[in-house]
A = this chain, B = another copy of it.
Amino acid sequence: MSGQGEQERCFEVRAIGRVESPLTERAGAPRQGDEGGPEAWLVFDAPVERGLRDLTAGQEVLLLTWLDRADREVLAVHPRGDRSRPETGVFATRSPDRPNPIGLHRVTVLAVDGLRLRVGGLEAIDGTPVLDVKPVLPGVGER
């Protein structure tokens, strides 16, 4: 890894809120939000309130979370935990176990209540730290 010695390699992400969900165990959670993920609240911390002000009900957004129960040493998995499927490199899978366990969830905003956002179809479990929210990009001409 010559030439990278002087470059910064580690960075700190900070939770800006938490997921409040009826899902409390990873074993019981659907593997993706469109496979039966329930409605959940995203509860944001007061310091980021100004960043939320243009999110409205009906919008589709990408939610980034920190999957804090993940195993970061894993580099290959049997997809969807199915041992009959061949072991696959994690970067070709959506396994939560991976070197940087950042969860990416496409959800619909159902309601906005101050620091709380109600969203539909979220497979993340209760207490999962929220890192970011981004809009789903419209077509190039509408940006």
Measured CB to CB, the residues of A under 8 A from B are 1, 4, 7-16, 18, 31-32, 34-35, 45-46, 48, 50-55, 59, 61-62, 64, 66, 68, 75-76, 79-80, 88-94, 98-100, 102, 104, 127, 129, 131-135, 137, 140, 143
Contacts and interface: CB of A to CB of B under 8 A. Distances in A.
A7 B99 contact: no
B13 A10 contact: yes
Contact of A91 (B1, B132, B140): B132
A104 B16 contact: no
Nearest to A16: B99
**7 closest residue pairs by CB, A with B:** A54-B92, A51-B75, A91-B133, A50-B75, A53-B89, A51-B89, A54-B89
A9 B1 contact: no
B51 A76 contact: yes
25 contacts: A4-B18, A4-B45, A7-B18, A7-B129, A9-B14, A9-B15, A9-B129, A10-B13, A11-B66, A12-B12, A12-B13, A14-B100, A16-B100, A32-B140, A51-B76, A51-B91, A51-B99, A52-B89, A53-B89, A54-B93, A79-B143, A94-B134, A94-B135, A102-B131, A104-B134
Contacts of A98: 51, 132
| Copies per complex of this chain | 2
Contact of A11 (B4, B7, B68, B92): B68
